[in-house]
Structure 1
Amino acid sequence: MKACVFGGSGFLGSHVADDLATRGYDVTIFDMRPSPYLQDRQKMVVGSILDKEAVNEAIKGCDVVYNFAGIADIDQAKHKPIETVEINILGNTIILDACKNHDVNRFVFASSVYVYSDSGSFYRSSKQACELIIENFHETYGLSYTILRYGSLYGPRSDERNWIFRILKQAITEGKITREGDGEELREYIHVEDAARCSVDILSDEFENEYVNLTGYQQLKIKDLMVMIREMLGNRIELEFLPNKSNVHYEITPYSFNPRIAKKLVSGHYLDMGQGLLQCLKDIYKEEYHYKELNGIMVEGDE
């Protein structure tokens, strides 16, 4: 079996590519930048999803195609509407057309719970448009699909575009966490490795031509998450709440717009959030201060 993962060098896409390879797929990773995580059963193609010829060549012979490529940062999308429409909508349509041309068995699209919301600006709009176009390809050409609406992700391989990564890094390097708003906003956080595993589980027939919500197993207030991080760091950091200048993020729930209803996939096991945060803290600490872990103890890298 062969799979192609567009955006496979990134945070979530790289984990999905790994899970596919572990399950025996030969995986082509297509991205603008080379993946630093390549492993056995994976090959790299560097290119743009706007390049029709390159996209068609990458998809040729594939059974399954995933699309994680595009502008995924809500604030970035707000300030770059033309690029967001071009990359997210046109790019996804080019991939869909290639899937149709090469008789792909299943197309899997990375959407977001923001499609339910009045928040999310151009990012939300681009995801809504993509979902409708995917349905059109199914109705017109018979292309099978699964649309995954992800919640708030965290975990290894994240970067400054990920809010949890940013606040963990700020806590370690500045001794404080700042947040716009009062922290009462609710989120369902899911570890990226749990999300990746579920993103491959959905290749079963049960989820063909379905929408699936992939979020955490419990709701958590942002301020409670911040307190948890402070306690994990020995109560040595300051929590600072600033006036909310942005209206692109939802507060309590994303559910104000009602597109096609999605199933919620509940995994049999999730990584405990405290454990997941602790691993993220260790990774950031090692990166920032060049420490390594030896028998569970952080030591200087040259020890």
Structure 2
Amino acid sequence: MNILLTGGTGYIGSHVAVVLSEMSHRVVLYDNLSNSVRTVADRIGEIVGKSCEFVRGDIRDTDFLQKALREYEIDAVVHLAGLKAVGESVDKPIEYYSNNVQGTISLLEAMKAEDVKRLVFSSSATVYGQPQYLPIDESHPTSATNPYGRSKLHIEEMLGDLAISDPDWHVACLRYFNPVGAHETALLGENPSGKPNNLVPFIAQVASGTRAVLSVFGDDYDTSDGTGLRDYIHVMDLAEGHALALQFLVDNAGWHAINLGTGQAYSVLEMIKSFEHVSGRKIAFEVMPRRSGDVAACYADAEKARNLLGWTATRTLENMCSSTWHFQQTVDKYTAQCPKQPECDKARR
């Protein structure tokens, strides 16, 4: 298939591109480079042994999207482009609704105009809000608690309405839990600009000495060690889930919500200990008060993914931490060798 990958040079998108390319799909990366760089496409090409076509564009540009769909004779779209920081979404809700919701409407208009009606959407476990029971399956009530989560939920609801209105649409909404890790080559991984919003990249930066101390928000939850429990999934397992979802949509119309998680929860302290083990470094941390909106535990029931897609997560916590550490060391080495660190660091990402 010819596949348009929106957000294709981002953290998750780049790993999805590798998996799809290795399955002999023709992948077209579509990205505005707001949180990535053009050289990611070159690194994807280095891994898979062939070049990936790249189109720089914004998903809110309907006409340009339509042109790309037509020019590359696109058969399906994997839609990952979007803003994704929960805290930032609270401060900048208009930007999140504009980019995420308006951008998706623009994409759907372009797809409809070009009669491309197969879509895998990058959703999130944040659409479940406060867990009412665990593990969380796809029947769990949805109720997002922040603008980021609401933008994902709004999009899911739009896609559901679209599939009802037109039976030719084939749509899978993949509800991620907590993607971590990096490609085994260390050519691709999560290297956030500025302060990391997620736990594992922050741990990696403390281990490397880039940051002095990790803040642990709350040690008085009703869990084994008092810290929050989360379902972490290796980004390559996640990427493989996208490929299987595309395959599933070939013969299955309608709207489908599917969890991608391991079903295994790890605490913040367990993540710190695992990273200390693989890195050989001590992770300095300090306990801070709980953050508003955080929950004690959140992890997936991924049985539906196994039944519909034939997918299960296979990589271990050690795989997640060791690949992250390998990538962090590569980033640090590259940055240290650069005479102009900010510009060089941006180029490496």
The Cα offsets for residues 120-169 of structure 1, whole Å up to 9 and x where unpaired, read as 41011111100011112112233210110001011222123443112211
Q: Within the alignment, does 1:278 sit opposite 2:290 as a pair?
A: no
**For structure 2, which runs of at least 5 residues remain unmatched after alignment?**
131-143, 183-188, 220-225, 337-349
* Alpha-carbon contact 1:115-1:124 (below 8 Å) kept: yes
**For structure 1, which runs of at least 5 residues remain unmatched after alignment?**
256-260, 293-303
Higher relative contact order (CA 8 A, sep 6+): 2
Which secondary structure state, in structure 1, belongs to the residue aligned with residue 297 of structure 2?
Answer: coil
Structure 2 counterpart of 1:123: 148
The Cα offsets for residues 202-252 of structure 1, whole Å up to 9 and x where unpaired, read as 1233765311100124111122111222333446333321112x3244331
Tell me how far apart the structure 2 counterparts of residues 188 and 8 of structure 1 sit (CA, whole Å).
24
Q: Within the alignment, does 1:263 sit opposite 2:288 as a pair?
A: no
C-alpha change, 1:225 and 1:218, in structure 2 (3 Å) is: same
1:78 to 90, 98, 101: 90
- How many residues in Structure 1 have an aligned counterpart in Structure 2? 286
Tell me how far apart the structure 2 counterparts of residues 291 and 122 of structure 1 sit (CA, whole Å).
34
Structure 2 counterpart of 1:253: 298
* Alpha-carbon contact 2:181-2:235 (below 8 Å) kept: yes
Structure 1 counterpart of 2:134: none
Return the TM-score normalized by structure 1: 0.86
Shift of 1:190: 0.6
Identity level (%): 24
* Alpha-carbon contact 1:96-1:137 (below 8 Å) kept: no
Structure 1 counterpart of 2:159: 134
The Cα offsets for residues 250-270 of structure 1, whole Å up to 9 and x where unpaired, read as 331379xxxxx9934473551
1:188 to 206, 214, 231: 231
Matching of residues 1-303 of structure 1 within 5 Å? 1-33=1-33, 34-38=37-41, 39=45, 40=50, 42-60=52-70, 61-118=73-130, 120-142=145-167, 143-156=169-182, 157-160=189-192, 161=196, 162-173=198-209, 174=211, 176-182=213-219, 184-205=227-248, 208=253, 209-234=255-280, 236-244=282-290, 246-253=291-298, 263-265=304-306, 267-268=311-312, 270-290=314-334
Amino acid of the residue matched to residue 224 of structure 1? E
Amino acid of the residue matched to residue 89 of structure 1? V
Tell me how far apart the structure 1 counterparts of residues 174 and 312 of structure 2 sit (CA, whole Å).
18
Tell me how far apart the structure 2 counterparts of residues 201 and 146 of structure 1 sit (CA, whole Å).
11
Tell me how far apart the structure 2 counterparts of residues 92 and 235 of structure 1 sit (CA, whole Å).
42
C-alpha change, 1:192 and 1:120, in structure 2 (3 Å) is: farther
Which stretch shifts more, 280-289 or 17-26?
280-289
C-alpha change, 1:164 and 1:225, in structure 2 (3 Å) is: same
C-alpha change, 1:225 and 1:67, in structure 2 (3 Å) is: same
Which stretch shifts more, 191-200 or 226-235?
226-235
Tell me how far apart the structure 2 counterparts of residues 271 and 154 of structure 1 sit (CA, whole Å).
11
Structure with the bigger percentage of strand: 1
Structure 1 moving runs of 4+ over 6 Å: none
Tell me how far apart the structure 2 counterparts of residues 191 and 120 of structure 1 sit (CA, whole Å).
25
Tell me how far apart the structure 2 counterparts of residues 77 and 64 of structure 1 sit (CA, whole Å).
29
* Alpha-carbon contact 1:21-1:41 (below 8 Å) kept: no
Tell me how far apart the structure 2 counterparts of residues 186 and 111 of structure 1 sit (CA, whole Å).
20
Tell me how far apart the structure 1 counterparts of residues 115 and 51 of structure 2 sit (CA, whole Å).
22
Amino acid of the residue matched to residue 159 of structure 1? N
Which stretch shifts more, 193-202 or 231-240?
231-240
* Alpha-carbon contact 2:181-2:319 (below 8 Å) kept: no
* Alpha-carbon contact 2:265-2:299 (below 8 Å) kept: no
C-alpha change, 1:52 and 1:70, in structure 2 (3 Å) is: same
* Alpha-carbon contact 2:4-2:69 (below 8 Å) kept: yes
Shift of 1:193: 0.7
Shift of 1:58: 1.8
C-alpha change, 1:254 and 1:188, in structure 2 (3 Å) is: closer
Superposition RMSD on alpha carbons, in Å? 2.5
Which secondary structure state, in structure 1, belongs to the residue aligned with residue 258 of structure 2?
Answer: strand
